[in-house]
Amino acid sequence: MSTVPISVTVDGQRYESDVEPRQLLVHHLRDGLGRVGTPIGCDTSNCGACTVLLDGKSVKSCAVLAVQTDGRSVTTVQGLANGTWHPVQQAFHAEHGLQCGYCTPGMMLAAVDLLTENPNPTEAEIRDGLEGNLCRCTGYQNIVKAVQAAAVAMQAEGAAR
């Protein structure tokens, strides 16, 4: 099979790779770049576990080809922390917004995108913003509380700057 050269920035680090044109981003991240914090859930874009930020917008990495990321920037859950936990990570921990943890990376990145677009969402807006990310364990209540807490923390962080 032929390959295509791509250059993509993942979690702030630039990678030059040769990928098969049909390779999914999730497989490139995990198998090609060792970024295993992005889980493979359903491989059909239904569950959202593999959600990453592509140029700051949440996408399901099992629905994006690696070649589509050429010249772009990808943030995984591993890239959220920069020496200290991101406010969303802190809030998920503090509010018990996880149980088995499988959906957590995708939930966190969807929450970051939501809070970037809407820094003060209502509960209904949070539930709507996380709609494409499924959780089988928590019942979502603590996830919503975590996003609410992260919103407060991110606003306070912004005010401190």
Confidence band, pLDDT 50/70/90 cuts, at residue 160 = low
- Average pLDDT of the chain is 95
Over 90: is that where the pLDDT of 60 sits?
yes
Task: Average the pLDDT over 120-149 and give the result.
Answer: 95
Question: Quick one: pLDDT band at residue 159, thresholds 50, 70, 90?
Answer: low
Q: Does residue 115 contact residue 88 with C-beta atoms inside 8 Å? A: yes
pLDDT of 14 > 60? The answer is: yes
Q: How many CA atoms lie within 13 A of 137 on its CB side?
A: 12
Say which residue the tokens 């807006």 belong to: 125
Predicted confidence (pLDDT) per residue in 23-48, tens digit: 999 999 999 999 999 999 998 999 99
Task: State how far the Cα of 127 lies from the Cα of 130, in Å rounded to an integer.
Answer: 5
Q: What is the mean pLDDT of residues 1-26?
A: 97
What is the reported pTM?
0.94
Residue 68 makes CB contacts below 8 A (sequence gap 6+) with 25
Could you tell me the domains of the chain?
A: 4-79 (3.10.20.30), 81-160 (1.10.150.120)
Amino acid at 3: T
- CA-only gyration radius of the chain, Å: 16
